Structure 1
Amino acid sequence: MLIFQGLEWNIPAAEHGTVFVHPGQGEVEVLKAFENGYDGSVRGASANTAHSGRPNTTAGDFWPGYYGRTLVGASRARHLELMAGVRAGNVWVDHGGLVDEVEVEVRTRGASAGLGGVITTHRGNQCELVVRIVPARSANWAQFEPKLKKVDVIQGRVTGPAEDRDTFRAPETTVVKSYDVSGQSVVELRYDLGVVGDTGFYVRLRGSDGNRSQVGYFGAATDPEGPAIDIVGDADPWLDLWFYTNPIFVLPRT
């Protein structure tokens, strides 16, 4: 999932990668070209958004916050604190109001960090992921209360600059743990991330309503139940809801 200035594209190839596009003239064209290159078609992008009076299965979008939301952690409800949260990466996104609250923290000896944060600690220190999620407690804009079914922990090693920047893959990044959280009013999870080695790692969360999934772009060993590609002409976005968090990085002290 690539989130950029309120626009959303489902890009299978981007599931285990991060794309940054500098805001400015032509950024939307850059993103369209990116999706064409990695997914073969542009979905949800159109120069003509006028309502035609009939279902549009080839293009379209929702009003901001109607379906896709970007949630930013801020110390106060003010513009400066909001932008500080964005710059710090304290961000998670969801579809269709799937979850109300997401709190994620990595803890190690003498240090901790939340979404977008970085911990620098000694090699050999044990790390633990601590999660608290509150699923949706009220109806969304489609007038139903979505149900969170599963939460995935995605972890990968920090390997430094890629030799080939066109590879577009985060090596050794996999879904390391999946939890069935059906029916829980508050989800509280703890996961052992192992010890800090000679290279760092990062971890992030993903979750869904469990309605649709398929083996991920890089195979079942990497992602056994990832987002499923839409069926052209038969795709109901409200029946395929997900949330994603930004990563937390853990690096060895030099």
Structure 2
Amino acid sequence: MTINCKGTLIDLDTPKVMGILNLTPDSFYDGGSYEKMDDALSQVEKMLKEGATFIDVGSYSSRPGAVHISESEELNRLIPVVQKLVENFPEILLSIDTFRARVAKTAINEGASIVNDISAGNLDDEMVQTVGELRVPYIMMHMRGTPQTMKTLTHYKDVTKEVIQYFSERIAVARSHKINDVIIDPGFGFAKNTEQNFELLAQLNHLQMLDVPVLAGLSRKSMIYKTLNVTSKDALNGTTALNMVALQKGAKILRVHDVREAVECVMLYEALS
């Protein structure tokens, strides 16, 4: 199983790690930590040295109840950092965390490699067509509503079955726009309560029937720290535990704040295989 990033085939038979760089002031874990350019560059250098294959950069906070910002503000936060990262790390594989087609296109034209869309094209009618024209891999996440409304949209008869149905439809749309490399993210914490998150993780292997790589974004999320009765700052051990479960259930990419620990998790998983 491979994806094509800037002409390089990335083999996902060995799972890969995607490091998170949040450029937002209000993200749930590291909001405001990388608003200064030097801090962002230092963090990315650290994540690359620790073994991240991809760096996921976002400037629109998608945590539950996050403040909505304009497209121009998202671009103003994002593009200077993308330009500097590509300049300083020419081989970097940047994923752009956005649901807006114009933001995605601008970032890809500046040297980014992947589009990571929390809405799978549902929040911008031009997104899927744009990604098809850009010929880049497309990460599609499962979510209902928007970051501002999703906490009220958690009723499912069968969460895993409904997530699979959702992706079946969205993958078909992506294929109709000639998107070759589709990656799916079940969206832990997005329009799902803690019980549903754990149910979905336990059944994550069922998503393999869709025959596309699965990305697991569990890092320091509330399903971990609320279950353990700790804060997100103390949720690394729980994150590592659930990352191993995700790998055993077929995840091919781990999207994380803590790269070294995730890389070690993958190494131990590979030793078990």
Tell me whether the two structures share a fold, i.e. TM-score over 0.5.
no
Report the structure number with the largest CA radius of gyration: 1
TM-score if structure 1 supplies the norm length?
A: 0.34
Q: Which has the higher strand share?
A: 1
Using the size of structure 2 for normalisation, the TM-score is 0.33
